[in-house]
Chains A and B, each alone.
Chain A
C-alpha cells in the first residue's frame, strides 16, 4: 500500500529527513496531510490528517456523533519535544469507515510503526494518561515528598519504567508540557491537568 503526501507545512511526526517522507508516491491510494493542513478526497482509500493538540473533528466538522468518513487522524507520539517514538496513535470518529482505518493501519505498520486506534478525544491515549502523572510528580517535588532523583529511581526500580517521570517531563520540555496540560485542562476541567507550578514557570520564561 503506497501513500502520497499532499501537503507538508512542517510535521511533528516526520521531521525533515525522515525516511517516511522519502517513500511517498504521487497518485497513491492514501493521501496524507502533514503539519496542520487538511482536505477531503472521497476517491482515496484513506485520507490521513496529522494532528497536534487538536481533535480530528476540528478538520472534518462534527455531526451529533454521526461524523466519520475516510479521514483518519494520526500523530506519532513524542514526549513533548523529544524525538518521535515508533508509536502512532490513529484517531477515528464514530462513523469513520472501517476500510479507511484498516488501510491506515496497514500503511503505517508497513512503514515500521506500532499503531493503536483511539477515539477523537483530547490528548488521545498517552498524553491523556501521562500528563496528570507528570503534574503530580512536579507538585510532589514542590511539596517535598521526595527528591526528583528518588522519585525517578522509585519508578525505574519499582515499576520498570526506563525513565522516571520528572526526568521525562523535563527532557520533553516543561513549556511544551504546560501547553499540552492547559489544552487538556480547558477541555476536561479536571484538576490533574492544571499545569504544575514548575511547568508554568518554564512556560513564562520561554515566552520572555
Chain B
C-alpha cells in the first residue's frame, strides 16, 4: 500500500487558480506548500488568503481556531526542491504544454516515486502533459472551477497511462478536501468547456445573425431555462479574449465548427471590447447600457 496524501504542493500558487487551490488544501487540513516562480505573486496570494479566511470567520463559515490552523498549514517557496516531500502536486501554472512538461520533468527528479502529479489544465491533454515523463501512471487531471476556493466541482480525468490506483487516490483526496469530483475522459474541454465554449459561440453567432439583442438573449435564457446568468453576461465575465483562446485551443483538435471563434468575437476583441475587464463587451459597464452586436 502506498503512502496516503498528507502534503500537497500547489505550483503557480501566486496565480488566480493556484491561490484558490492552495486555500482548498490548507482549509481541509493538508500540509500545503505554495510554490511559484514569482516571490511577489506568492506574497500577494498569501495576503489574499489571509483576508479570505478572515472573511470566512466573519461570516461564520469557519472558527478562529480553524482559520489559524489553515494558515499554519500553509508555507511558501520559490524553490522546486522545497516540493520534495509532497505526496500530491497540483500544477496551475501557465497554460502551455511545454511549460507544464518542463515543470513535471524537473519535479520527476526531485519527488519520491509515490508522488502524484495533477494538472489543472483547461485545454491541454493530460496524456500529452504526461508524455515522456517517467511516472505517466501517476499523472492525473484535476480541473477546478474559478473561483477554486468557492466552487466544489472538480473534473477529474485519467490520462491514457494513469493507473487506477492513482486515479482513486486523487479522487479520495478531492472528496476529503470537500470537493465534488466528476469523472471525465481526457478529451478537449472535458465536460464543462466542451459544452460551454461551443454554446457561447452559438450565442455570438446568433447576435451576429441578427436573431436578437444580447439583452434579449440573456433574458430568454434566464427566464426560459432558469440559468443564473445569461450567456452574454457570462462571456463578458470570462473575457472575450479568453473565449478566443479557448476556441483556438479546441477547434484545431476537434474541428467542430461550433468551437471555432465567430467573426464577431474577433472583431469585438480587436476593437478592445473584452468584456468587464475592459469596461465594455456585450454590455457597456461604464453606462450600464447595452452594446448591440
Contacts and interface: CB of A to CB of B under 8 A. Distances in A.
A118 B212 contact: yes
Interface residues of A, number: 44
Interface residues of B, number: 42
Given A137-B195, A190-B257, A132 B182 contact: no
A155 interface: yes
A77 B152 contact: no
Contact of A150 (B184, B196, B202): B184
A158 to B, nearest CB: 5
Contact of B211 (A85, A128, A144): A128
Contacts of A57: none
Contact of A191 (B184, B217, B257): B257
Given A129-B203, A154-B182, A121 B195 contact: no
Nearest to A146: B184
Given A145-B187, A158-B153, A133 B195 contact: yes
A109 to B, nearest CB: 12
Interface string B209-237: 11111001101110111111101000000
Contacts of A160: 227-229
A130 interface: yes
B69 to A, nearest CB: 27
A157 B191 contact: no
B153 A154 contact: yes
A116 B212 contact: yes
Interface in A129-181: 129-130, 132-133, 136-137, 140, 144-147, 150-151, 153-155, 157-163, 165, 168
A116 B220 contact: yes
Given A158-B145, A158-B153, A165 B209 contact: no
B206 to A, nearest CB: 6
Contact of A162 (B195, B199, B226, B229): B226
Contacts of B226: 161-163
Nearest to B152: A157
A198 B199 CA distance: 20
A161 B153 contact: no
B258 A132 contact: yes
Interface in A44-91: 77, 79, 85-87, 89
A133 B257 contact: no
A118 B198 contact: no
Contact of A136 (B198, B210, B223): B198
A129 B221 contact: yes
A114 B184 contact: no
Interface string B9-28: 00000000000000000000
Given A132-B202, A150-B182, A114 B210 contact: no
Interface string B158-190: 000000000000000000000010111101001
A57 B227 CA distance: 31
Contact of B223 (A114, A129, A157): A114
A119 interface: yes
A126 interface: yes
Looking at A118, A129, A158, the one whose CB has the most chain B CB atoms below 10 A away is: A158
B192 interface: yes
Contacts of A137: 195
Nearest to B193: A158
A35 interface: no
Contact of A145 (B191, B211, B227): B191
B62 interface: no
Given A132-B202, A145-B184, A125 B192 contact: no
B155 interface: yes
Given A118-B212, A125-B212, 4 more contacts: A121-B211, A154-B191, A158-B145, A158-B153
- In the A-B complex, the 3 residue pairs with the closest CB atoms: A160-B228, A87-B224, A157-B153
Interface of B: 145, 151-153, 155, 180, 182-185, 187, 190-192, 194-196, 198-199, 202-203, 206, 209-213, 216-217, 219-221, 223-229, 231, 257-258
